[in-house]
Amino acid sequence: MTNEELAEALVRWVERNSSVPLEMLRRLVALDAPTGDADLLAETEQLITTELQELGATVDRHPTPGGTHIEARLGPQHGAPVLILGHYDTVWAQGTAAARPLSLANGHVNGPGVFDMRGGLAAAMTALRALTQLELIDRPIWVLFTADEEAGSQSSQGLIEGLGSRAAVVLIPEPSLPGGGMKSARRGVLTYRVEVTGREAHAGLDPERGISAIRGLIEMIDHIEALADPSAGTQINVGVIAGGTRPNVVAGSAFAEVDVRITHVPEYERVDAAMSALPHELPSGARVAVTTVHARPPMERTQAIADAVRKAQDLASLLRLDLAEGPAGGGSDGNFLAPLGVSLVDGLGPEGDGAHAVDEFILLRSLEERTALLALLALRL
């Protein structure tokens, strides 16, 4: 079957089964899946696992205290696989699904997580259903849906890198760019907690006996903010600070939470090295501890990514889709794979807007289009 014939067969399948991706999305949105809540995540994990098993997939579950990562394999087990990589956790708290169920009006599908990234999950699983029913799977297709992406993918990073580095190409149905474009570059993220410990004393009777942790923290913030280099795409935000107990007590402890956004790998390495080299003790006697909370390197537009994007554009044209590409400010699990030289295409989820916002939506038309697109890419990219 030629690429043109395959594309036509997939379009016809989606037209005949247009209710399937929307129904899959409805079932996903009906379940709360906040990051870190293993009990609630288990309901979505069971839904996805059952769906994959019904398609004949071999499913391996990877339990962690924060949720279970889902690995599945379909098709023949010889040759380099294509990996479909996504996450099923969301930023929405328990009770959100009941309060804001999926709704459809004027071609817009609204609901918690529809854009990030349950629309992409629904399209991916429906694409696998299409390929299975049409008996077209002629290469290994691997799937990895993780439970902790919204919290930095700390427990799933090893799985992502292990499976991704063995794949011929990785498809990531994360939200697309405005207008439906693919994401060929993403900024990296480093998040730190900086804790300063001083010594408490009465602010009026004997302040000289105290060591102000707040003053020490201010001193550290000056050092940290000096690491920013906006011209190189490196931005630093001290977003949270707290410390002390009462106004008449010299503060014995204080902390700050720092967010760093980085465009290029050398800058990522520079900032991380500088944060690790911050002094453990200040001249005042205050002690400093720096903890890395999240670390996601930049996804630079490598040659492997550029080649994969160009091939994806050629295949998308067979579905009469004109896909642009460009950089994105936020990260995805593709950030871990780009520095390894992995060939990947990110931002393959449905067109929409409002990630992490109450007005989050996707276009129904795009949900159906991305179902056919993911199926086509899974076989021919």
Segment 320-360, tens digit of pLDDT: 999 999 999 888 999 999 999 999 999 999 999 988 899 99
Q: Are residues 141 and 214 in the same domain?
A: no
Last residue of a domain, one of 296, 317, 345: 296
> Which of 185, 189, 264 lies closest to 232, judged by CA?
264
Last residue of a domain, one of 276, 296, 316: 296
How much is the pLDDT for 131? Answer: 98
* Distances from the Cα of 379 to the Cα of 76, 133, 249, angstroms: 12, 14, 66
Mean pLDDT of the region 222-237: 96
Tally of structural domains, the chain: 2
Q: Are residues 125 and 167 in the same domain?
A: yes
Last residue of a domain, one of 296, 327, 358: 296
Q: Is residue 169 within 8 Å of 381, Cβ to Cβ?
A: yes
Domain at 219, CATH number: 3.30.70.360
* Distances from the Cα of 253 to the Cα of 93, 245, 248, angstroms: 31, 9, 14
Q: Residue 292: which domain range?
A: 188-296
Please compute Rg for the chain using Cα positions.
Answer: 23
Q: Are residues 148 and 111 in the same domain?
A: yes
Per DSSP, the three-state class of 288 is strand
Q: Are residues 30 and 120 in the same domain?
A: yes
How much is the pLDDT for 317? Answer: 97
Q: Are residues 201 and 96 in the same domain?
A: no
Q: Are residues 353 and 303 in the same domain?
A: yes
Q: Which residue has the tokens 């990996």?
A: 83
Cis geometry, peptide bond prior to residue 275 (ω within 30 degrees of 0): no
Q: Are residues 156 and 215 in the same domain?
A: no
Q: Are residues 203 and 302 in the same domain?
A: no
Q: Is residue 282 within 8 Å of 219, Cβ to Cβ?
A: yes
Q: Are residues 85 and 104 in the same domain?
A: yes
pLDDT of 77 higher than 90: no
Q: Measured between alpha carbons, how far is 355 from 360 in angstroms, rounded to an integer?
A: 6
Beta strands across the sheet bearing 344-346: 58-64, 67-74, 141-146, 82-87, 169-172, 344-346, 182-186, 325-328
Instruction: Name the percent of the chain lying above pLDDT 90.
Output: 97
Q: Are residues 262 and 192 in the same domain?
A: yes
List of residues 6+ apart from 91 with CB closer than 8 A = 34, 35, 113, 116, 150, 356
Q: Are residues 225 and 276 in the same domain?
A: yes
Q: Measured between alpha carbons, how far is 173 from 372 in angstroms, rounded to an integer?
A: 12
**Predicted confidence band of residue 254 (pLDDT cuts 50, 70, 90):** very high
Q: Are residues 234 and 263 in the same domain?
A: yes
Nearest 5 degrees, angle CA 152-CA 165-CA 369?
A: 75
The per-residue pLDDT for range 15-26, each reduced to its tens digit, is 999 999 999 999
